[in-house]
Amino acid sequence: MNKIDEITIEELECICKLPNSVPVCAMMNWNLEGILKLMWKKLDLIRLYTKPKGEIPDFKEPVILPRKKCTILDFCRNIHRDLAENFKYAMVWGTSAKHTP
């Protein structure tokens, strides 16, 4: 809900209690981070970072996938449809990985 700068504190408290809503003021950049966090949570997305062998990870452009479809095959298909056919191996690590590399 936008334009929270034009409402009273009592109205803001009522809005904050509503499910699936985030009070923001786009003009003054109030709580834009809050709406971003709610979007990531509700869409259940994860960021996947690539790292070519012998190089540092690329943290500028992650591949974003739904958490339910985040296998190596899904990742390859997201990059290019022919990548999965020629793919040899991958090393996966992180707090959400089931196995260590």
pLDDT digits 0-9 by tens, 51-97: 888 998 889 999 999 988 888 899 998 889 899 888 888 888 888 77
According to the model, what pLDDT value does residue 33 have?
A: 95
Q: What is the mean pLDDT of the chain?
A: 90
Question: Exposed, middle or buried by CB within 10 Å (0-12, 13-18, 19+), for 46?
Answer: middle
CA–CA separation, 80 and 71 (whole Å): 14
Beta bridge partners of 47: 64
pLDDT at 2 over 90: yes
According to the model, what pLDDT value does residue 10 have?
A: 95
Tokens 């500028």, residue?
60
Domains delineated in the chain = 4-42 (no CATH), 46-86 (3.10.20.30)
Pinpoint the alpha helices (H) of 44-88.
72-79, 83-86
Give Dmax (Cα) for the chain.
60
The DSSP code for 90 is: -
The DSSP code for 11 is: H
